Amino acid sequence: LGYVYAVRYLFSLVVLIYTQLKNSEGISAVDEARILKKGKWKARIHNALTAIGIMVVGTIICSIFTAVYFAWGEPNRIETYHDIVASTIAVTQPNLYLRNYGTSVKHFFSSEINGELYKQVGSEFIKEGEIKVDFLLARAGYLERKWLNNYTNRYVFRYPGTANEAANRDWNKLERLPEGTVAEVYLSFDQLYSTAEILNKFKDRQMKPVWFAVDTSFDNTSEGNATSIHFPIGFSYEPVWHNSDMIITRQEEEKYGLMGKAVSTTGTYPELEAYGSAELREAHFIKTLELLKQHEDIANRVALGPELKLQQRIDYVKEHGVNIYGAVVTGPTKEILKLREEPWVAAICLGEAKLWNWDYVE
């Protein structure tokens, strides 16, 4: 009997130990899964916070670098790029000017220059479109032009000696325009003229020359099959002055903080004589070409037509001088029509015409 009780006791003890061990193993498995799951989420959150932190710090560093990059120099880079855009338009697109422009520095090494494009017809400047250029550091990227008023690049010049009867059909169109209108006309000359000679030809006339087409070695269509010049190079009657052209009359410096300062500069640009200052105009034209050569990738991006090949043009102009084969003029229609009798006007191309707005006196 004692033996039986002993066996029963041992069996009960074994069952109890087994049950406890089984329960103990079950609890450990649950805890282990729970701990692993919690650890995974902690790792994910830690990685996400680390990535966000890196992005925030990286964005701040990029923003600081971008701001410093475009604000560096005198003039700073954003001012220089604006100068390149405005000068390229003035040199490559007859009677077109960049106005009401804006600049902005963005994140991640980028900036933007935008503005409105105007042309002069009569005494008024008429909006022809808008332009926006994106920059990635020193490289011009996306460029957008929006034209108004059905603007086209169909207005052409003729090189001396290439004008034919078809090149003079626009005289008849000009003649049909009524009294009380003003017009924009592209004149082609019978030969190459110096700047001084051309300015003198328009003196005391009721019209204004607004742009001059210069022979830069790519314009002589008599040597090829082309008869018209669609992508001329030249300069405007009213120069697009550069920052380096300013004559400083006053400069003030105001310090703020430990290392900050603000510089205020006042100055004037060179004065031009009406229908004079030929040498100054020519020197400024060459200077502009040399400036564009330093940023030729931007200039090629902004200009209409093929690559500018500025070094070849600069060398040609320095060797042969600034010789003009055409001009854009604007003024009263009937006054411009009088040029039909001038032997130095070989051909014309009629641009835009508007109702009377003429009040130009110079």
Whether residues 187 and 280 share a domain: the answer is: yes
pLDDT (tens digit per residue) in 134-156: 887 777 777 888 988 776 667 78
What one-letter code names the amino acid at 162? T
Q: Which of these three, 21, 38, 71, is where a domain ends?
A: 71
Residue 4: per-residue pLDDT: 45
Q: Which residue has the higher pLDDT, 36 or 114?
A: 114
**Domain, as residue range, for 37:** 1-71
**Cα dist from 338 to 205, 254, 304, whole Å:** 10, 58, 32
Give the tokens for residue 328.
């854009």
Per-residue pLDDT at 167 exceeds 80: no
- For the stretch 182-234, pLDDT in tens is 999 999 999 999 999 999 999 989 999 999 999 998 877 655 545 688 899 99
Would you say the C-alpha torsion 287, 289, 293, 298 has a positive or negative sign? Answer: positive
Cα(342)–Cα(277) distance, integer angstroms: 24
Predicted pLDDT of residue 65: 67
- Do residues 103 and 43 share a domain? no
* Inter-residue contact 267 to 300 (CB < 8 Å): no
- Inside any domain, residue 156: no
Torsion of CA 334, 191, 89, 310, to 10 degrees: 180
For residue 120, what are its two tokens?
Answer: 């002069």
Asked which of 63-77, 83-97, 178-192, 327-341 is least confident by mean pLDDT, the reply is 63-77
d(CA 56, CA 73): 28
Does any domain span residue 55?
yes
Structure tokens given for 40: 């995974």
Residue whose token pair is 């003029």: 329
Count up the domains in the chain and report the number.
3
Res 7: pLDDT: 44
Peptide bond into 75 cis (omega under 30): yes
303/317 same-domain check: yes
The predicted structure's pLDDT at residue 3? 47
Q: Tell me the pLDDT tens digit for each residue of 83-98.
A: 999 999 999 999 999 9
Average model confidence (pLDDT) across the chain: 82
- Confidence at residue 141, expressed as pLDDT on a 0 to 100 scale: 76
Residues 282 and 342 in one domain: yes
66 and 82 in one domain? no
79 vs 46, higher pLDDT? 79
Same domain, 213 and 283: yes
Q: What does the pLDDT average to over 169-178?
A: 92
